[in-house]
Amino acid sequence: MNAEELNSLRISGQPHLLVHVLPEEVFAAERIPGSLNACVYEMGFVDRLRELSPDPHTVIVVYGAGAGSMDAEQALAKLVSAGFLNVMSLKDGLDAWRAAGFPVEGHGRLPADPVIDGIYQVDTAGSVIRWTGRNLFNHHHGTVGLLAGEIHVSHGRLVSACFEIDLTSVLCEDLTDPAWNRMLIRHLQDSDFFDIRSHPVARFVVDSAEALPGATPGTPNFLLRGALTLRGVTRELGFPAVIASADGTRVTGQAQVEIDRTDFGSIYGSSRFFRFLGKHVVNDHIQLHLKIHADRP
């Protein structure tokens, strides 16, 4: 259905349901008069439509932002799959409606990306690093906490950042037997792995953050480069990360990082350094999933 056909339907008096399928803040800013709101990005989208239209034969027209956004297309597919029988979508959505000169209502202030600027202190309680270590036939996973951290951003550009990791906080989440769990933690904290008696804190200092071209929300948008110090050994480390903020007062960074523990002197169970390990082989690489929240004071 194009904009002219929808306008004809609106003034014809024929019963129908006109549904704006974007989030409520977009609905409040700009909508076709007479629209109802049901966000297609919500898990309860179909249930919401059943509340608005219990009769599956009702004529329903869904619309979204317009060209380049598959919101209305997805809404149409969901409703047809759920058994609604008379569903149509407005071609090119609000873009086409406005271009045709038809009226819109709302306060007109569409959501904009927040400005990230200033010095942000890491929320050590809300941030976490998840680790996974493997051998040839098994793996273990758990968490380790942050001791401190700071992120300096100037007009959306990362200037510097540093993070301190509290290796004394290492936990294992998959071993349910308390005795085995304690044994593994002792093993990880001794000189075979992290050597926390001599080096209880690891440190990562970001030297540069390069914006990745073509990045979209939800994909890595920066390439971080810096230096990781672990067990008293410093090595260069680079990885892509997603850095975002909902309101400008809190910054969140997420990344998947892989490090070679042997680069930092942890050679236990590595077949690069020992022969005849058999079942005692431990993979050299450790995977880390970073989720770091930082707030502006």
What confidence tier does 131 reach under pLDDT thresholds 50, 70, 90? very high
In DSSP terms, which residues pair with 97 in a beta bridge?
A: none
- Please, what CATH class does the domain formed by 118-295 belong to? mainly beta
Instruction: Reply yes or no on whether the pLDDT at 167 is more than 90.
Output: yes
Mean pLDDT (the chain) is: 95
Residue ranges per structural domain of the chain:
3-99, 118-295
* CATH no. for 3-99: 3.40.250.10
**Distance (Å, rounded) from C-alpha 49 to C-alpha 44?**
9
168-177, 210-219, 224-233 — which is least confidently predicted? 210-219
**Distance (Å, rounded) from C-alpha 76 to C-alpha 65?**
14
Q: What is the mean pLDDT of residues 8-21?
A: 94
The pLDDT value given to residue 80:
97
- Confidence (pTM): 0.83
Burial class (CB in 10 A: 0-12, 13-18, 19+), 41: exposed
Instruction: Reply yes or no on whether the pLDDT at 57 is more than 90.
Output: yes
Q: Identify the three-state secondary structure at position 237.
A: strand
Which residue type is seen at 260?
Answer: D
3-state secondary structure 115-183: CCCEEEEECCCCCEEEEEEEECCCEEEEEEEEEEEEEEEECCEEEEEEEEEEEEEEEECCCCCHHHHHH
**Distance (Å, rounded) from C-alpha 89 to C-alpha 103?**
18
